[in-house]
């Protein structure tokens, strides 16, 4: 018997890229139009206005034909100068990576070390900023959730720490795995720069990067001396679409974005957040049950710090997380995320963000459980049932009022 030919749908449960809804795909399948045609211009303008609703901001939005790393760089070079010092609370691979990018751009970084299993205490941030009486620190690089560790942090608490220290540093926040997944309120929370990308909660293919900038960030931009051209906010603040995108606009991506924004706004952001919270809680209950056999556990120690869009499962020594990921993808037809950097080979990740529902989650969790059985990894059977029981109970609550 041969298993070499696969039928049916391959499940995508990586924490980015994520499933792209058919409605978004269909919106993207159209010929490009003249750059001055009113049809694409109207779509572009509406996207700039409605993405503000997702960031919950009235501030300036910049869009780039890039991935999230491009948005990282745009945020840095537009607000910082070579030699500027940035404070980086360590949450995992991506907080570290953003800091490394800053160093590559000739900026300096100082890391508040973390253990990759819990968020940095905001009091440590307050203490460090209070000690910086000369205001040498120009900004903080914060990831709302680190996709590698699935640890999330409290942005309002960090803002409070900055304010209590009386420090003028900019608050730069990576919302790449959290925007349209977990609540984010740029203006209310006093965030100066927020970055995101298209391939996660926004339910699109990779290829669009976004930066939202407060008036304080725009003032910092006027003084920043980092070399930039494509990323330059000054050039992109022009009203002409050609200058807004520093050249030809990515029309197909923008048509897809328009459809994705429509879907999110039709569902309602609070419902979007609640849906992700339910799916995350179901996943956590499943993994906690598997872990009763002693071979695995949730990487994020504290329940309140567990991400709503991705779950990182930490494995005992001797269990190969990369093997679990590969077998689940190749044999069970379900793609997972692997462990990154410090967690390479020691963990795997289940994504449950974007265009995701109960049925897709059941399929993913069952595929993982089948993989554990196939590889003889110790686990307590019945984890999927725990997820089902929770989600069915939630639906009954909703039905019965």
Which residues define the annotated binding site for substrate? 349
The Cα 215–Cα 91 span in angstroms is 28
Phi, psi of 363 (to 5 degrees): -60, -40
Tokens coding 198: 């298209």
Residue given tokens 């404070």 in the structure block: 87
Question: How much is the CA Rg of the chain, to the nearest whole Å?
Answer: 22
The Cα 98–Cα 102 span in angstroms is 6
Residue given tokens 């554990």 in the structure block: 372
Q: Which residues are annotated as a binding site?
A: 349
The Cα 296–Cα 23 span in angstroms is 38
CA count, 13 A, side-chain hemisphere, 12: 15
| Cβ-based neighbours of 50, under 8 Å, separated by 6 or more | 261, 265
Tell me how far CA of residue 60 lies from CA of 215, 259, 333, 366, in angstroms: 8, 22, 42, 44
The Cα 227–Cα 9 span in angstroms is 46
Q: Is the dihedral of CA 311, 317, 322, 328 positive or negative?
A: negative
Phi, psi of 59 (to 5 degrees): -85, 180
| Cβ contacts of 296-302, under 8 Å, gap ≥ 24 | 296/377, 296/379, 298/150, 299/116, 299/117, 299/149, 299/150, 299/151, 299/343, 299/347, 300/117, 300/118, 300/149, 300/150, 300/151, 300/152, 301/117, 301/118, 302/118, 302/119
The Cα 260–Cα 390 span in angstroms is 28
The Cα 187–Cα 57 span in angstroms is 5
Closest CA to 292 of 180, 359, 382: 382
The Cα 3–Cα 191 span in angstroms is 51
């Amino acid at each position: 018997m041969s298993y070499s030919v696969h039928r049916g749908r391959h499940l995508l449960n990586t924490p980015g890229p994520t499933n792209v809804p058919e409605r978004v795909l269909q919106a993207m399948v159209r010929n490009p139009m003249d750059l001055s045609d009113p049809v694409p211009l109207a779509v572009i303008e509406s996207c700039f206005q409605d993405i503000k609703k997702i960031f919950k901001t009235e501030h300036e939005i910049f869009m780039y034909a890039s991935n999230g790393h491009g948005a990282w760089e745009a945020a840095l070079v537009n607000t910082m100068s070579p030699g500027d010092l940035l404070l980086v609370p360590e949450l995992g691979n991506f907080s570290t990576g953003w800091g490394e990018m800053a160093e590559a751009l000739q900026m300096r970084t100082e890391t508040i070390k973390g253990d990759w299993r819990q968020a940095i205490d905001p009091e440590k941030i307050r203490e460090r900023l209070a000690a910086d009486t000369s205001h040498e620190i120009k900004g903080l690089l914060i990831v709302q959730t680190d996709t590698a560790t699935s640890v999330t942090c409290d942005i309002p608490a960090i803002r409070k720490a900055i304010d209590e220290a009386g420090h003028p540093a900019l608050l730069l926040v990576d919302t790449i795995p959290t925007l349209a997944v977990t609540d984010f309120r740029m203006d209310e929370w006093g965030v100066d720069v927020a970055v995101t990308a298209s391939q996660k909660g926004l339910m699109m293919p990779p290829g669009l990067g976004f930066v939202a900038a407060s008036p304080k960030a725009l003032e910092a931009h006027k003084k920043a001396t980092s070399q930039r051209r494509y990323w330059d906010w000054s050039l992109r603040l022009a009203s002409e679409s050609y200058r807004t995108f520093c050249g030809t606009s990515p029309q197909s991506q923008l048509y897809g974005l328009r459809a994705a924004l429509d879907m999110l706004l039709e569902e309602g952001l609070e419902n979007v957040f609640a849906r992700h919270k339910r799916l995350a809680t179901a996943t956590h209950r499943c993994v906690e049950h598997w872990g009763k056999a002693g071979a695995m556990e949730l990487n994020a120690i504290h329940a309140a710090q567990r991400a709503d869009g991705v779950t990182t499962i930490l494995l005992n020594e001797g269990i190969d997380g990369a093997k679990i990921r590969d077998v689940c993808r190749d044999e069970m037809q379900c793609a997972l995320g692997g462990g990154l950097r410090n967690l390479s080979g020691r963990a795997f990740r289940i994504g449950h963000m974007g265009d995701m529902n109960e049925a897709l989650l059941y399929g993913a969790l069952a595929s993982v459980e089948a993989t554990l059985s196939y590889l003889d990894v110790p686990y307590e059977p019945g984890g999927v049932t725990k997820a089902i029981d929770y989600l069915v109970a939630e639906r009954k609550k909703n039905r019965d009022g």
